């Protein structure tokens, strides 16, 4: 069973910019999303193809495989990424990988059976993710791994400002995207998924999707535009 998919409405937008994204979707929650709060109720797990039961069951099988043998799972990802890289080059596109489509796992710490992480296996490929884990921003990340911090209803505004001052971008889910928020410029994060191309020190504005459209917890920001 292949673990990565390239069939995603948002990541496909990156092809217009010359990139092909392969993305991994697991079942969210628990230790896979250690800082999840109300976002679990409005997770993108329910958006797009995630609304179909067969898709969710496939993601559950992947999650079970990962939990049963993480090293073997990473070994399979090595094969998947190798194939994705080959197919991308044939298509004239640059391969990139997003491993936390619906999870928040520190993939830069998980080795394959060869004792290397995926970033070590593929130093020429850019990996990128969103994270809600504050401490992960303090990690010494591989040079080919880009993180965007994901704000939720529990994130202090001062932490957002501190993170932006460190030139780490922060994603915020809005009902309607404003031009500025908390004094910082907001870019359109729905135009593409290639977060490593974003300018530094900006808020990545995402529009509420799936169950998030009905959120009243504070996870979705109701902005004045």
Tens of pLDDT, residues 54-79: 767 888 999 999 999 999 999 999 99
Count up the domains in the chain and report the number. 1
How high is the pLDDT of residue 45? 47
CB atoms within 10 A of CB 29: 15
d(CA 125, CA 132): 23
For residue 130, give the nearest of 15, 23, 2 by alpha carbon: 23
Under DSSP, the state recorded for 91 is: T
Q: How many residues does the chain have?
A: 225
User: Which range marks the domain in which residue 95 is found?
Assistant: 4-221
Q: What is the pLDDT along the chain (225 residues), one digit of tens a residue?
A: 789 998 778 788 899 999 999 999 998 766 666 655 555 555 554 555 545 567 678 889 999 999 999 999 999 999 999 999 999 999 999 999 999 998 999 999 999 999 999 999 999 999 999 999 988 888 889 999 999 999 988 899 999 999 999 999 999 999 889 999 989 999 999 999 999 999 999 999 998 877 666 667 788 898 765
Do residues 210 and 47 make contact, with C-beta atoms less than 8 angstroms apart?
yes
């Amino acid at each position: 069973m292949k673990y990565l998919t390239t069939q995603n409405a948002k990541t496909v937008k990156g092809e217009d910019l010359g990139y092909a994204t392969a993305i991994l979707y697991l079942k969210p929650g628990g230790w896979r999303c250690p800082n999840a709060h109300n976002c679990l109720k409005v997770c993108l797990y329910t958006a797009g193809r995630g609304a179909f039961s067969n898709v969710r069951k496939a993601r559950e099988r992947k999650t079970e495989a990962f939990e049963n043998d993480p090293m073997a799972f990473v070994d399979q990802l090595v094969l998947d990424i190798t194939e994705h890289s080959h197919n991308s080059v044939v298509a004239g596109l640059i391969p990139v990988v997003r491993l936390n489509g619906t999870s928040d796992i520190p993939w830069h710490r998980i080795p394959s059976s060869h004792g290397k992480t995926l970033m070590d296996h593929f130093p020429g490929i850019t990996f990128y993710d969103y994270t809600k884990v504050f401490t992960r921003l303090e990690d010494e990340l591989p040079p080919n791994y880009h993180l965007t911090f994901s704000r939720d209803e529990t994130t202090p505004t001062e932490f957002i400002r501190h993170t932006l001052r460190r030139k780490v971008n922060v994603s915020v889910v809005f009902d309607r995207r404003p031009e500025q928020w908390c004094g910082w410029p907001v870019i359109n994060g729905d135009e593409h998924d290639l977060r490593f191309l974003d300018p530094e020190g900006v808020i990545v504005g995402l529009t509420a999707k799936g169950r998030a459209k009905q959120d009243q917890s504070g996870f979705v920001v109701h902005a004045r535009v």
